[in-house]
Structure 1
Amino acid sequence: MSVLRLSAALLAAVSALSATAADRVTGAGFATRSEVMAPHAMAATSHPLATQIALDVLKDGGSAVDAAIAANAALGLMEPTGNGIGGDLFAIVWDPKSKRLHGYNGSGRSPKALTLEEFERRGLSDIPAHGPLPVTVPGTVDAWFALHAKFGRRSMAQNLAPAVAYARNGHPVHEVIAYYWDRSVPTLSKWPGFREQFTMNGRAPRKGETWRNPNLARTLETIGREGRDAFYKGAIARTIDAYFRANDGFLRYEDLAAHRGEWVSPVSTNYRGYDVWELPPNGQGIAALQILNLLEPYDLKSYGFGSPEHVHLFAEAKKLAFADRAASYADPDFYRTPVERLISKEYARERGKLISMDKAMKAAEPGIIPELNEGDTIYLTVADKDGMMVSLIQSNYRGMGSGMAAPGLGFIFQDRGEQFVLKKGHPNSFAPGKRPFHTIIPAFVTKDGKPWLSYGVMGGAMQPQGHAQIVINLVDFGMNLQEAGDAPRIQHDGSTDPAGQATAMSDGGELDLETGFPYATVRALMRKGHSVRFADGPYGGYQAIMVNPQGGYIGASESRKDGQAAGY
């Protein structure tokens, strides 16, 4: 079953009305189920078994970070269509001891042996989506250990043990995961190691079938026993080196050995009294802050959810934010993105003058011209009894990644390098040892200096759009945590791409509206010049945990995926 059909079925009851409409006995609009509440701890992930693993860790005395690592390791096994230890990881942690947020950028760099000239020699104008060329250093394992060193309580071997057991003994494949797995197999099976390790005699596992990955079990066991260097400097690293040397790749032992992620300071904007936090580039999180700044002057509440004004203003704000995203978001070691300027209220006021209430803009130029100086996903969130909250996102990019799977290791390498530009002079231009523009972003919201919400919306360019929409649904439209995620979403597509793989927007792009928006809104948008279209499920995946003002936590999980929020 497609994700579109899932969404349509779940939202059919509200297909013609507004956020106040509902046919549930509670009168809650858009909610497919109630919020989850618990007095001590909460976990929300995109797989029920991963959620249960996180709760087991929390009940055993583990911190929210321990539980997040354990759940992430399990998701790499259970949902390889979105993540794994061949990918990168970003996280925001609320630490109740220091009473502040800590950010970690766990993105890997390009191989030092690969150059822009090599792509030119091969006659390539874009980096391929799959195979060895888009592979960058996987940053996830390093990020686990960095987070654990600062906030962990249990050993890493204990944290990885549940994933090891499920990898060895097997688990049933869930519906949405089976759907995406089946779509990936025809494309990725030609790459060495994929068919042998990620198919059942050449096909994807079907819904309900038991999947085992003994190779991943051994890899995770080794990492738990020997530490991060087992992956970056040990036998695993040497296996990776040999594999890429044998298969026209450039990733080397030296790239792995040199890798380190970094602690970074989250940045924020205040939206109607709520401080919304994102990580700075090379990710795209600040686009969500730019969108919110552009929308703050408008009384969205009075317009109403699903009104032509609500959707139109959102689309126009997105176009302006994404113009800056394409021009200025890049590895800060190579280009200093003017973050403070981009997320300032003053800048939003200047840019907001370009928005017309009556007409959709066809083109959007960046507000800051760069001056050079020298991708599917999983999202999860966990909160523990001591008040620690973790917002964590992890991905291989393009679903299952590059298709490259080294023998005996049980994971697929990310193809995040596809997000580089093969054009000299661009902030995101390919260079050896550089981090690409990144789509995956965790988010957090505080109120009056206290934690309020840990959340994320996975799914490529949908992510900052989804982050902004969740905040708007909660703050402007008064939805509860589950309603805010279940409400039909807006996705604008067609903005200029940071990876240089699309020409500059000149036709206004396309506006995808999920089932649930009134047709009167669609007609009004078309009159304003928007191109509104039907699209198969590009609307992302959401998990969230909110601090309950009455005590404990409130959790919500994405109705469009296989996930679960649960607590104790």
Structure 2
Amino acid sequence: MRDLHFPGRSPVRATGAVVATSQPMASAAALALLREGGNAIDAAICAAAVLAVVEPQSTGVGGDVFCLYVPGGKGEVIAYNGAGRAPGAAHIDWYEERGITAIASDSPHSVTIPGAIDAWCRLSADHGRTPLERVLAPAIHYAEKGYVVHDRVEADWRETQVLLARDEAAARIFLPGGRAPRAGDVHRQPELAQTLRRIAKLGRSGFYEGEVAEDLVSRLKAAGGLHTLDDFAAAQGNYARPVKTSYRGAEIWQMPPSNQGLTALLMLNLLSGFDLAGLDPLSAARFHLEIEAGRLAYQVRDALIADPAKAKVDIEGLLSNAYADRLRERISPERALELPVRAMEPSDTVYLCVVDSDRNAVSFINSTYWSFGSGLVGPKSGVVLQNRGAGFRIDRKHPNCIAPGKQPLHTIMPGMAMRDGHVLAPFGVMGGDYQPFGNVHVLTNVLDYGMDPQAAIDFPRVFHNRTAAVVERSVPPAVMRGLQQRGHAVGIAEEALGGGQMILIDWEKGTLTGGSDPRKDGLAIGY
């Protein structure tokens, strides 16, 4: 139990169902749908759609989706890959001929074909039980009638004003009166409301064919993009085989490559060889091991993870105990490794999870990547287009080199923890490159230190960002000095690190315990 003398938030406890998202409006809409008889998939899509309106810098219908789903909370983990692909004309030759050596995050070439709507429609049809018109109704309401801008949303929005001002439609919709809305302002997106209505009525064809697709392709072509209506019409996600590892008696599941989920699993494999539970959770010794495991795992990610349909990725070898043992030998509990400098990028994403009364468990993540994605917006549809293609390399020798129909290295990663064939917890921590660190940090808080989901999410965080270990201001000075003594350059993180949600299932007691990150605006809620 938390110390009630200190500020903070208790976990949400319930027996029926729990929803955890980064916005109160999304959590409330999803819970209302569950009370009407909807299931966890319905509620997750409902929440994601609301978030696509009320947290527009983080997510949208012009982005991507990944989902892990366990029907009834036991047995098979179903994984859905809703990641977009490069246009059919995106040949490496085209970029080389024009001297393009990297894909700029604000260029049309950073826009992959959005996968979110295909994923919502497919998951709804296969696993939901509520008509899509009802599922999307709250999002349509907020887009048309307006929603109140929350505090974290304002902070992110304000930092992206320069990007938004470059695009006429983006400026008109997202800089009303010439500036980003303030916390407490009411904002409307009538064009997006019409797009959502069209999707609610027509399903995926309402987005990938007809007037919405035409609007988006026209905008991309005007900016110099290679996208075609055929690319949109052909967009399709797929069910995938999730990847897993074992840690402290639990099975931890993630999406397979080109998703970076394998990075977190490799970190867990490395940390499994250390007695974390014997260390103070808020200590330099613990954070140092976490940092070193992360630095090694990210090297593997950057060199080897790519779309397995277009490049060879040895998943079994990378997750083997032998591979982890070899890497772990490089970690000294007392001294930081000398490793090449890495470029680390933030992103704005929404992660949410739902467990319903039938114990259907959903781990769901939706993103347009960087804040407001590419900054390109469909003028008629109001759709913000993601910039996920900035994750590609312009390098023929690299497995993550851009190619027609290829998925880029993808940072957004939902997690699912299982024990004895039953769901222990859907969980996730958003935040671009920070996500493997965040997933591992929160999970080890639960499995090594016995924290409840809210305490595990609240707990201070560190990250190795480029050349330094960056820490949140809640990390004590003594811990910072301990990291410096181990050879780390240490600085204060510019922003709070990530934002996450988790719902823990106690099968014996029949209870659910949820947590939501105070670094965002949201909450867990249940009944």
Same fold (TM over 0.5): yes
| Structure 1 residues 438-473: Cα deviation after superposition (integer angstroms, max 9, x where no partner) | 000000100111011011000011101011111111
Structure 2 portions without partners, runs of 5+: none
Aligned amino acid, residue 24 of structure 1: L
Asked if residue 460 in structure 1 is aligned to residue 432 in structure 2, the reply is yes
Superposed CA RMSD: 1.7
Aligned to 2:488: 530
Aligned amino acid, residue 4 of structure 2: R
Asked if residue 67 in structure 1 is aligned to residue 43 in structure 2, the reply is yes
Asked if residue 560 in structure 1 is aligned to residue 511 in structure 2, the reply is no
Shift of 1:116: 2.2
Q: Distance in 2 between matches of 1:201 and 1:468?
A: 42
| Structure 1 residues 158-202: Cα deviation after superposition (integer angstroms, max 9, x where no partner) | 101111111111111001101111111212211242112222122
Asked if residue 487 in structure 1 is aligned to residue 459 in structure 2, the reply is yes
Shift of 1:152: 0.6
| Structure 1 residues 409-444: Cα deviation after superposition (integer angstroms, max 9, x where no partner) | 112000011010111110001112211110000001
Aligned to 1:352: 328
Structure 1 residues 158-197: aligned runs within 5 Å: 158-197=134-173
Aligned to 2:61: 85
Deviates more, 1:469-478 or 1:184-193: 184-193
Q: 2:394 aligns with which of 393, 409, 422?
A: 422
Aligned to 2:349: 377
Q: Distance in 1 between matches of 2:263 and 2:90?
A: 30
Aligned partner of residue 108 in structure 2, secondary structure: coil
Asked if residue 319 in structure 1 is aligned to residue 277 in structure 2, the reply is no
Q: Distance in 1 between matches of 2:242 and 2:481?
A: 40
Aligned to 1:11: none
Q: Distance in 2 between matches of 1:422 and 1:202?
A: 36
Aligned amino acid, residue 429 of structure 1: C
Asked if residue 106 in structure 1 is aligned to residue 82 in structure 2, the reply is yes
Shift of 1:23: 4.8
Asked if residue 541 in structure 1 is aligned to residue 499 in structure 2, the reply is yes
Q: Distance in 1 between matches of 2:93 and 2:106?
A: 19
Aligned to 1:399: 371
Q: Distance in 2 between matches of 1:33 and 1:23?
A: 10
Aligned to 2:314: 338
Aligned partner of residue 455 in structure 1, secondary structure: strand
Aligned to 1:139: 115
Aligned partner of residue 546 in structure 1, secondary structure: strand
Aligned to 1:431: 403
Shift of 1:31: 7.4
The change in CA–CA distance for 1:433 and 1:491 in structure 2 (over 3 A counts) is same
Work out whether residues 14 and 513 of structure 2, in 8 Å CA contact, stay in contact via their aligned partners in 1.
Answer: yes
Work out whether residues 377 and 384 of structure 2, in 8 Å CA contact, stay in contact via their aligned partners in 1.
Answer: yes
Q: Distance in 1 between matches of 2:216 and 2:465?
A: 36
Aligned to 1:363: 339
Asked if residue 240 in structure 1 is aligned to residue 216 in structure 2, the reply is yes
| Structure 1 residues 110-165: Cα deviation after superposition (integer angstroms, max 9, x where no partner) | 11123323323333221111031211100000000111122110111110111111
Q: 2:102 aligns with which of 126, 134, 139?
A: 126
The change in CA–CA distance for 1:552 and 1:377 in structure 2 (over 3 A counts) is same
Aligned amino acid, residue 38 of structure 1: A
- Which stretches of structure 1, 4 residues or longer, exceed 6 Å deviation after superposition? none
Shift of 1:97: 8.1
Aligned to 2:415: 443
Structure 1 residues 214-229: aligned runs within 5 Å: 214-229=190-205
Q: Normalising to structure 1: TM-score of the pair?
A: 0.89
Aligned to 2:358: 386
Q: Distance in 2 between matches of 1:406 and 1:524?
A: 50
Shift of 1:233: 2.1
Structure 1 portions without partners, runs of 5+: 1-19, 367-374, 495-508
Q: Distance in 2 between matches of 1:155 and 1:460?
A: 33
Work out whether residues 73 and 361 of structure 2, in 8 Å CA contact, stay in contact via their aligned partners in 1.
Answer: no
| Structure 1 residues 383-434: Cα deviation after superposition (integer angstroms, max 9, x where no partner) | 1111101100010011110011111211200001101011111000111221
The change in CA–CA distance for 1:278 and 1:148 in structure 2 (over 3 A counts) is same
Asked if residue 152 in structure 1 is aligned to residue 128 in structure 2, the reply is yes
Q: Normalising to structure 2: TM-score of the pair?
A: 0.96
Shift of 1:518: 2.9
Q: Distance in 2 between matches of 1:128 and 1:341?
A: 33
Deviates more, 1:204-213 or 1:110-119: 110-119
| Structure 1 residues 85-129: Cα deviation after superposition (integer angstroms, max 9, x where no partner) | 000000100112873210011001111123323323333221111
Aligned partner of residue 428 in structure 2, secondary structure: strand
Identity of aligned residues (%): 40
Q: 1:95 aligns with which of 65, 71, 83?
A: 71
